[in-house]
Amino acid sequence: MLSQATQINTVKQGWLLTLGILIFFLNSLLPTTGLTITLLLTPAWVFYLYSKGQLQHTLICLLPLAAVFVIAHLLLGVDVSHYLLSISIICCTFFFIAAFSVVVKGKIDLDNLFRMLLVLNGIFVLISLPLFFSSSLREWVWYMVPISNGVVVPRLKLFTPEASHYSLWLAPIAIYYFSIMLFLKPSNAWFTLLLILVPLLLSFSLGVLAAMAISFLMVFIFYYGKIISTALGRRHLFAALLGGLVLVALLYFLFPNNPLFLRLAYVWQGKDTSARGRTFEAFILANKIISLKSYLWGIGPGQLNILGRNTILQYYQYSNSPVVVRIPNACAETILFFGYIGFALRLTLQFFLFFKTRVFTNPYRLWLFVFVFIYQFTGSYLTNTTEYIIWILAFSNVFPELNIQKLKPANLST
């Protein structure tokens, strides 16, 4: 017979796995645009916070800050109905963030959750491969929108709106297993590596892949001594570098006009519309639009299609006017809605929590922090729950076995 504590823990893990599957795979699958499972479950997040005695603390954090911006925006003038709707969505996102933060602080088996999600994702990837050859079912799991200059590259998205959203969901799991391989050096990790790399490469999200590569380089420099302190570590590093060089060489000589090289060329030449729109153009447009109202406070949530629509249409010279316009960059969107005061608060909070929670003492958390810090300047959006999940994992004491003080020579031996 299982003890009562074991039964309770099993039930907790079951609910956690169920929610993980719903949020990871099906969060944006609802037919109504913008309606997500995390948004619909807001009453559950509020109840959970109340049951844990954290609802009052959450409201204390939320209400004063929200009140300052709401008062400023109302004084500047907003379309009240659109404003209140957007503020409500932001508040619902905040309740989810608070609830997830409390969950992570509890005794949960994230390693098991990540493993189950990785295996399920692998199964879905296998199912999606034959679906590519079905013209009626392909777009359910493959993103067929041109990446630039009319070039269409099939990109795996599974059940998310875009391939970049899917690859962002994969990022914290991928970084976890990369960290395990680098610092704990388990044997027979090649199958796990395959389960990680194939979906990431099929998603073909250069923003996520570039942010992951740059953040790895910074973590590698910071923990250089720990990573290659043994002959095994040096062999792994050499094998990875050699494999990467061989792959690039094969692509160059056997398939020089492959989608990767074409897109990199477009990015370098400034012709990649997706890369431009998610980076510097997002900040240009945000500054153009807030100049119509307030650089300090922004235009307020829900006001973009009212105040900034014409600015975006004129900038891009659309032949067909889109129903909804947006700024696909989390930092630029923060500036747009909350001005440079909101942007300064965003960065200040990130750096405060970085030092407060000593992110740099755990290579997994540091890798997550650097990755999402870079990514927020190249994509995402203000209510992106995936981004906040990554921030919370970076600021929480997750996977203490990767804390640098525990990575003793015994862990790093050959």
pLDDT digits (tens, 9 = 90+) for 156-209: 998 888 888 899 999 999 999 999 888 887 767 778 888 998 999 889 888 898
Separation between Cα atoms, residue 104 and residue 92, nearest integer Å = 19
User: 276 is written with which tokens?
Assistant: 């431009």
pLDDT at 205: 86
| Range 289-309 average pLDDT | 93
pLDDT at 251: 64
Per cent of the chain over pLDDT 90 is 46
Highest mean pLDDT among 89-98, 105-114, 198-207: 89-98
pLDDT confidence band for 240 (50 / 70 / 90): low
Task: Give the largest Cα separation in the chain, rounded.
Answer: 70
pLDDT confidence band for 315 (50 / 70 / 90): confident
Q: Out of 37-41, 275-279, 393-397, pick the least confident.
A: 275-279
For residue 310, is pLDDT > 60? yes
Which residues, in sequence order, are CB contacts of 87 under 8 Å at separation 6+? 66, 70, 301, 302
| Range 68-84 average pLDDT | 94
Residue type, 71: I
| Range 225-253 average pLDDT | 69
| Predicted confidence (pLDDT) per residue in 111-155, tens digit | 888 999 999 999 999 999 999 888 888 888 998 887 666 667 788
Q: Out of 44-53, 218-227, 267-276, 351-360, pick the least confident.
A: 267-276
Q: Out of 254-263, 332-341, 400-409, pick the least confident.
A: 254-263
In DSSP terms, which residues pair with 155 in a beta bridge?
143
User: 272 is written with which tokens?
Assistant: 């990649």
Residue 53 burial (CB count, 10 A): 9
Residue (of 379, 388, 376, 383) closest to 302 by Cα position: 383
User: 236 is written with which tokens?
Assistant: 């792994």
Which residue is associated with the tokens 């949530």? 301
pLDDT at 152: 75
| Predicted confidence (pLDDT) per residue in 24-41, tens digit | 888 877 656 667 889 999
pLDDT at 204: 85
pLDDT at 410: 40
